[in-house]
Structure 1
């Protein structure tokens, strides 16, 4: 895989350039992520702030997770695509939780970890060879 990788929201008003390999790619099967993605799970690439460049106007949405962690989302105000999530209470470990929106190479978003499999859809089979966690690791 060669970098940088380009991506954008549905309407193209928010774009990003990912300059490095994500630290990890997580498939989250929790009920909230099922709602977010309108799919059986949500895919998130954890990247460092310095490894990504984002252009375009973003709006913010917030929720408090069951753990008490703050989960903030930045999204395109025109098409509604979430671009990334972050926790403002973890500035020393702040990572962008990049949502997989139209990258040049889809392989960059292949999950290596599956979390909250205790809430996964019964019909979905987690691939062999990936780390699996019943809840949040």
Structure 2
């Protein structure tokens, strides 16, 4: 399905279904992050993050929050389901209008919307992973 013809809103939920969301517009960008923190988060070689405007998404359900400082000195706050533990999104409290959506729908027609257009923090990537040819890559976080 062409992502420009996709019907919104798109629905998704955490593993147990207690938290859900309606995404009302296409993400601003989608990145695969290879930093060691994202590798821990994803229990995989990288984590896929979709940057969405807070006004473009509606959440329902109870979420807990965890925070840490990032290398830049910003706060990285994470919202997650208190029952199944799925990460829902991250955000910087200093910029609450931009959310870094972690939870994606599993519908194959919708997943194309979440294909990374850039790979970041590749200086920390696993040596056996190859960034796809033609995809933009950055050693750290682009400015």
**Coarse TM-score class (shorter-chain normalised):** over 0.9
- Which residue is equivalent to 1:13? 18
Tell me whether 1:127 sits opposite 2:132 in the alignment: yes
Tell me the CA shift for residue 52 of structure 1: 0.5
Tell me whether 1:78 sits opposite 2:90 in the alignment: no
Tell me whether 1:33 sits opposite 2:32 in the alignment: no
Where in structure 1 do 4 or more consecutive aligned residues deviate above 4 Å?
none
Give runs of aligned pairs for residues 1-137 of structure 1, distance below 5 A.
1-91=6-96, 94-104=97-107, 105-137=110-142
- TM-score scaled by structure 1? 0.94
Structure 1 unaligned residues grouped into runs of 5+: none
Tell me the CA shift for residue 129 of structure 1: 2.2
Mapped partners of 1:102, 1:90: distance in 2: 25
Mapped partners of 1:53, 1:129: distance in 2: 34
SS in 2 for 1:6: strand
| Kept in 1: contact 2:123–2:140 (CA 8 A) | yes
Equivalences, count: 135
SS in 2 for 1:2: coil
Tell me the CA shift for residue 24 of structure 1: 0.2
Deviations 1:32-81 (A, max 9, x none): 00000000000000000111011000000000011101000000000000
